[in-house]
Amino acid sequence: RPGQLLAFPVLDLRRRRLPLRGYVAALESLVLRLCRRFGLAAARALPPPFTGVWMGDNKLCAIGVHCGNHITSHGLALNCCTDLSWFEHIVPCGLEGKGVTSLSQELGRQVTVDHVLQPFLDSFQEVFDCTLVFPEDPGD
Q: b/e string for 54-68 if b means 16 or more Cβ within 10 A?
A: bbeebbbbbbebeee
Tell me whether residue 93 is one of the annotated catalytic residues. yes
Among 30, 44, 55, CA closest to 119: 30
Q: Which of 35, 67, 81, 93 is catalytic?
A: 93
| Integer angstrom CA distances of residue 65 from 13, 88, 124, 130 | 12, 24, 16, 20
Active site residues: 93
